[in-house]
Amino acid sequence: MVKAQTVEQYQIIKWLEQNFYIEALKISLIDKATVLIEDMNGEAATVRYKGENDIMLEYESKLNRESEQSA
């Protein structure tokens, strides 16, 4: 399990623990207030802490990521 390096990352990880089966996720720290999560199927989403318990989850299409990588 990844360790948070900032308060914002800590809040995201805490939220993930409450809403997902976190052991099934690969978690990568992106920046101070953003993490990338990826499931066993390769589906991914960015999770951003916007403050005051405001969390934004943005899904990334696997097809979009594959086409970006091949470009």
CA distance 10 to 33: 9
Strand order of the sheet with strand 34-38? 26-31, 34-38, 44-51, 54-60
Contact in structure between 28 and 2 (CB atoms under 8 Å)? yes
User: According to the model, what pLDDT value does residue 8 have?
Assistant: 96
What is the pLDDT tens value at each position of the chain, 71 positions in all? 799 999 999 999 999 999 999 999 999 999 999 999 999 988 999 999 998 879 999 997 665 555 555 55
The pLDDT, as a whole number, for residue 52 is 84
pLDDT at 24: 94
State the pLDDT at residue 71. 55
From CA 57, how far away is CA 39, in angstroms rounded? Answer: 14
- The pLDDT value recorded for residue 22 is 93
Where exactly are the structural domains of the chain? Answer: 7-70
